[in-house]
Amino acid sequence: MKIVMLGPQGSGKGTQAAKIAEKLNLPHISTGDIFRENIKNQTELGKLAQEYTNLGKLVPDEVTNKMIADRLSKEKKGFILDGYPRNSKQAKALEEMTHIDYVINIEISDNESVRRISGRRTCESCGEVFHTIFKKPKNEGVCDKCKGKLLQRDDDNEEVVRKRLEIYHEMTKPLVDFYRNEDVLIEINGEQPIMKVFKDIVMNLEREKE
């Protein structure tokens, strides 16, 4: 089974992708991991991607598509793909690479996205992540693991989050219509507890297979 995960920042698609991958015994393929792996191993594509990121530029679709195609070619059984495609060009490229069985779109409002992301606090020492609502530290501003200072990352503040959401709506959300027309879209209410979202996804996948 080949599944793509869609959803805005803070929707929990990474968390759900990992849970579905475990349930279905399929690899969870994260675009971020693919980039980091290629850059770490200094592959030809990794070096090219790093040139763009070092300049603060987006990696061109052509480079991203080649990385994804190389990774997916190794998975004959199926996969859960998280973080790709991000735009219509990438979706068309993915169609040429392989057939996608289902696209799971986890929906949350912009305000909920901001609430979830802007509440994150990261330990400056060990990198452990806490949240002002969902995962409070025992002592405010102090990491439970190493007693390091908890900080809000620059890209987690509300202004930055809303700018990222604008880009999402402009570039990624049209994919929802694209996959709806392909009749492979499963829409899930992401403003529920994690396990309820997971159960809804599993129930919909089982229903689709019948």
**Average pLDDT of the residues in 166-187:** 92
Q: Is the pLDDT of residue 18 over 80?
A: yes
Q: How confident is the model at residue 61 (pLDDT cuts 50, 70, 90)?
A: very high
The predicted structure's pLDDT at residue 182: 92
Mean pLDDT of the chain: 92
Check if 115 is active-site: no
**Average pLDDT of the residues in 159-176:** 90
Pairwise CA distance, residues 129 & 143, whole Å = 9
Which stretches does DSSP call E strand in 83-157? 102-107, 120-123, 129-131, 150-151
Asked if residues 178 and 88 have their Cβ atoms less than 8 Å apart, the reply is: yes
Q: How confident is the model at residue 4 (pLDDT cuts 50, 70, 90)?
A: very high
> Which residue among 66, 89, 162, 164 is the active-site one?
164
Q: Is the pLDDT of residue 97 over 80?
A: yes
- Taking only Cα atoms into account, the Rg of the chain, rounded to an integer number of angstroms, comes to 18
Check if 13 is active-site: yes
Burial annotation 35-53 (CB, 10 A radius, 16+ → b, else e): beebbeeeeebbebbbeee
Q: Is the pLDDT of residue 21 over 80?
A: yes
Pairwise CA distance, residues 183 & 75, whole Å = 24
Residues 131-165 pLDDT 10s: 998 889 999 999 999 999 999 988 888 998 999 89
Q: Is the pLDDT of residue 56 over 80?
A: no
Q: Is the pLDDT of residue 82 over 90?
A: yes
Check if 121 is active-site: no
> Which residue among 153, 163, 180, 196 is the active-site one?
153
> Which residue among 71, 86, 116, 121 is the active-site one?
86
Backbone angles phi, psi at 26, to 5 degrees: -125, 155
Q: Which residue has the tokens 């987006």?
A: 58
CATH number of 2-27+75-209: 3.40.50.300
Check if 120 is active-site: yes
Chain-centre distance of CA 48, in angstroms? 22
Q: Is the pLDDT of residue 103 over 80?
A: yes
> Which residue among 13, 19, 115, 116 is the active-site one?
13
Pairwise CA distance, residues 16 & 106, whole Å = 9
**Average pLDDT of the residues in 35-41:** 89
Q: Where are the domains of the chain?
A: 2-27+75-209
3-state DSSP of 35-79: HHHHHHCCCHHHHHHHHHHHCCCCCCHHHHHHHHHHHHCCCCCCE
Burial annotation 107-126 (CB, 10 A radius, 16+ → b, else e): ebebeebbbbbbbbbbbeee
For the chain, what percent of residues have pLDDT higher than 70? Answer: 100
Q: How confident is the model at residue 210 (pLDDT cuts 50, 70, 90)?
A: low
In degrees, to the nearest 5, what angle opens at C-alpha 155 toward C-alphas 149 and 157? 80
Q: How confident is the model at residue 90 (pLDDT cuts 50, 70, 90)?
A: very high
Q: Is the pLDDT of residue 98 over 70?
A: yes
**Average pLDDT of the residues in 167-177:** 89
**Average pLDDT of the residues in 117-121:** 92
